[in-house]
Amino acid sequence: MRLRSLPSPVDLGRFWFMLALAAVGVGNMGFHVIVSRLMGPAEYGAFGSLLALMVLVTVPAGGVQTLITARTARIVESGRLVDGTAAFGRFRRAGAICAIAMLAAAPLLQGFLRLDSIWPICWLALYCLFPVAIVVPWGWLCGQGKFAVVGTIAIAGTVIRISVGILLIQAGFGVSGAIMASVAADSCQLVALYLASNRVRARDRARAVSLGIDPRAAIGGVLAVTGLWLLVG
- In whole angstroms, give the CA distance from residue 190 to residue 29: 22
**Distance of alpha carbon 23 from its chain centroid, rounded?**
15
How does pLDDT run across 20-59, given as a tens digit for each residue? Answer: 999 999 999 999 999 999 998 889 999 998 988 888 888 8
Who contacts 54 (Cβ-Cβ below 8 Å, separation ≥6)? 124, 127, 182
Count other C-beta atoms under 10 Å from residue 233's C-beta.
8
Specify the pLDDT at position 1.
44
Specify the pLDDT at position 206.
61
In a domain, residue 6? The reply is: no
Specify the pLDDT at position 141.
92
- In whole angstroms, give the CA distance from residue 49 to residue 38: 17
- In whole angstroms, give the CA distance from residue 154 to residue 150: 6
In a domain, residue 74? The reply is: yes
In a domain, residue 122? The reply is: yes
Q: Write the burial class of residue 144 (CB in 10 Å: 0-12 exposed, 13-18 middle, 19+ buried).
A: buried
The residue type at 48 = G
Report, as ranges of residue numbers, the positions in the chain whose pLDDT lies below 70: 1-7, 9-10, 198-207, 214-215, 217-218, 220-233
In a domain, residue 95? The reply is: yes
In a domain, residue 81? The reply is: yes
| Contact between 89 and 160 (Cβ < 8 Å) | no
**Domain around 175:** 50-232
Question: In the chain, pLDDT over 90 holds for what percent of residues?
Answer: 48
Sign of the four-CA dihedral 2, 145, 154, 47: negative
Count of the separate structural domains present in the chain = 1
In a domain, residue 23? The reply is: no
pTM for this one? 0.86
In a domain, residue 31? The reply is: no
In a domain, residue 201? The reply is: yes
Specify the pLDDT at position 120.
94
- Interior angle at CA 111, CA 105 and CA 114, nearest 5: 130
